[in-house]
Amino acid sequence: MGIRFDKLGVVIAAIAAYGAFVAPFATFRANRIVAGEPRSIIEALPSPMGTILLAILVATGLVALIRTPLTMRLVASLAALASLALLIGVAGSHLTPEGNTFARVSPASGFWLLIFAYTLLLADVLTRLQLSPSGRVAVLGAAAAAIWLLLASGQWDSLSILKEYASRADSFWNEARRHVTLALGSLVAAVLVGLPLGILCHRVEGLRAAVLNVLNIIQTIPSIALFGILIAPLGWVAAHVPGAAAIGIRGIGVAPAFVALFLYSLLPVVANTVVGLAGVPRAANDAARGMGMTGWQRLAGVEFPLAFPVILTGIRIVLVQNIGLATIATLIGGGGFGVFVFQGVGQTAMDLVLLGAVPTVALAFAAAIILDAAVEIVATRRSITVSA
């Protein structure tokens, strides 16, 4: 029997080979804003470590390329990712001159390509293992714990993104709280308004098209334009409505950002509520009527529980969307991780951009995994209920 190649493994191996042997592993800069000097794996790491890392990467690439047992693929991907995570910190220490506080060392494109390739391999293995929803959440928790341990150990302190964080630690956590508050607060408001509106649209067919068309129009407005549109009316409210300014309503700041995110959130919540309620089996409604249930009793006891997996899918879409859109709120003084992104762009400091971008992506990724698991759990319970 000849060697059998894995189709996805061919792509993974090609990306890993380019990242390991062609693209730079790290970038050295004399200070935070000058152009960087690329370093390969061999140049960025002390001599034995560079060779060992290349050997691990090549071995993992071969495991991905050929059809191998899932256990072997899992161990290989974890070994490659752990080695990359540990040794990029070593590269930072190795490349930074002793006592030099101005030099900056950043992970370069090769590092990110290798991380992407072997994360893709790990994700493929976990998909084939068909983990339960709780198992996927547990894997996410283990990954978060591993990253926290690396950060707490100081292994990455020599990297430029951590140096940017060290000088902005207090403001980082303030902006993190503001970012999460904007994303979650607008979601909660959209659910409180969108669920009743979706139920009303389901019950009153003539209202459905008008409401969904209006929300579709709002969804097509670019986010920056919508932020700008809201400045004038909210500024007028702050100036003319007693007490409005005292509770934080202003033309710029958190208020227009919150309102814009709320408006963007309405369509997925309302539309999924309508679709979920429309998908409730007629037999379930007929059985509820036969038991003498009123319309509200059927809604609360039968229709809403059966529609909840679809509604929860809409909530998942909204949360991931809002975590990303909250970054743009910085442009009108809304705060959030976008503060670091736009400061970094203005200062041509890419590590400062990453300080805002990386936690935003991590939050969106974690939210997607957790809510996907919740949707699957709820959908499974629904199918059991319907079959019973």
Given a contact cutoff of 8 angstroms between Cβ atoms, the answer to whether 361 and 120 are in contact is no
Condensed to tens digits (0 to 9), the pLDDT of residues 300-332 reads 777 788 888 888 888 998 999 899 888 888 887
Do 373 and 226 share a structural domain? yes
* 296 part of a folded domain: yes
For residues 293 and 312, give the distance between their C-alpha atoms in angstroms, rounded to a whole number: 25
* Packing angle, helices 133-153 and 70-95, rounded to 10: 20
Do 144 and 188 share a structural domain? no
Burial label for 127, CB within 10 Å (0-12, 13-18, 19+), is: exposed
Condensed to tens digits (0 to 9), the pLDDT of residues 331-355 reads 877 788 988 998 888 877 788 888 8
pLDDT band for position 125 (50/70/90)?
A: very high
Domain boundary among 136, 159, 182: 159
Do 190 and 300 share a structural domain? yes
pLDDT band for position 65 (50/70/90)?
A: very high
Evaluate if residue 384 carries a pLDDT over 80.
Answer: no
Do 106 and 43 share a structural domain? yes
Do 147 and 18 share a structural domain? yes
Evaluate if residue 382 carries a pLDDT over 70.
Answer: no
Helix (H), strand (E) at residue 296: helix 295-298
Domain tally for the chain? 2
Nearest to 72 by CA among 62, 81, 85: 62
* 49 part of a folded domain: yes
Cβ neighbours of residue 185 closer than 8 Å, sequence gap 6 or more:
258
Do 300 and 204 share a structural domain? yes
* 1 part of a folded domain: no
Percentage of the chain exceeding pLDDT 90: 36
Evaluate if residue 103 carries a pLDDT over 70.
Answer: yes
Mean pLDDT of 149-172: 88
Given a contact cutoff of 8 angstroms between Cβ atoms, the answer to whether 133 and 42 are in contact is no
For residues 207 and 204, give the distance between their C-alpha atoms in angstroms, rounded to a whole number: 6
Burial label for 68, CB within 10 Å (0-12, 13-18, 19+), is: middle
Condensed to tens digits (0 to 9), the pLDDT of residues 6-30 reads 889 999 999 999 999 999 999 998 8
Rg of the chain in Å (alpha carbons): 25
Decide which of 31 and 138 is more confident.
Answer: 138
Condensed to tens digits (0 to 9), the pLDDT of residues 237-286 reads 777 677 666 666 776 777 888 888 888 889 999 999 998 888 887 877 77
Helix (H), strand (E) at residue 346: helix 338-347
What 242-249 contacts at long range (C-beta under 8 Å, 24+ apart), as own/partner pairs, is: none
- Summary count for the chain: helices (H), strands (E): 16, 3
CATH code of the domain in which 333 resides: 1.10.3720.10
Cα dist from 351 to 36, 154, 220, whole Å = 12, 18, 32
Cβ neighbours of residue 183 closer than 8 Å, sequence gap 6 or more:
261, 319, 322, 323, 326, 363
Mean pLDDT of 216-221: 87
Given a contact cutoff of 8 angstroms between Cβ atoms, the answer to whether 381 and 312 are in contact is no
Do 178 and 115 share a structural domain? no
Do 84 and 226 share a structural domain? no
Q: What are phi and psi of 37, to 5 degrees?
A: -110, 120
Mean pLDDT of 195-224: 87
What DSSP state is assigned to residue 330?
Answer: G
Q: What is the pLDDT of residue 184?
A: 92
Domain boundary among 114, 134, 159: 159
Number of CB atoms found within 10 A of residue 199's CB: 18
What range does the domain containing 65 cover?
7-159
Most confident segment among 28-32, 230-234, 242-246, 371-375: 371-375
The distance from CA 202 to its chain's CA centroid, rounded to whole angstroms, is 31
Evaluate if residue 295 carries a pLDDT over 80.
Answer: no
Cβ neighbours of residue 206 closer than 8 Å, sequence gap 6 or more:
none
* 114 part of a folded domain: yes
Do 71 and 211 share a structural domain? no
Decide which of 375 and 383 is more confident.
Answer: 375
Look up tokens 């970038």; give the residue: 27
For residues 41 and 311, give the distance between their C-alpha atoms in angstroms, rounded to a whole number: 48
- For residue 238, give both structure tokens: 């702050």
Nearest to 198 by CA among 264, 294, 266, 262: 266
For residues 326 and 334, give the distance between their C-alpha atoms in angstroms, rounded to a whole number: 8
Nearest to 191 by CA among 97, 308, 294, 75: 308
Total residues found in the chain within this entry: 388
Q: What is the pLDDT of residue 239?
A: 73
Domain boundary among 159, 181, 206: 159
Do 379 and 269 share a structural domain? yes
Please provide the distance, in angstroms rounded to a whole number, between the alpha carbons at the two ends of the chain: 49
Do 219 and 114 share a structural domain? no
Decide which of 68 and 235 is more confident.
Answer: 68
* 2 part of a folded domain: no
- For residue 326, give both structure tokens: 């909250």
Task: Work out the mean pLDDT of the chain and round it to a whole number.
Answer: 86
Do 262 and 359 share a structural domain? yes
Residue 29, helix vs strand vs coil: strand
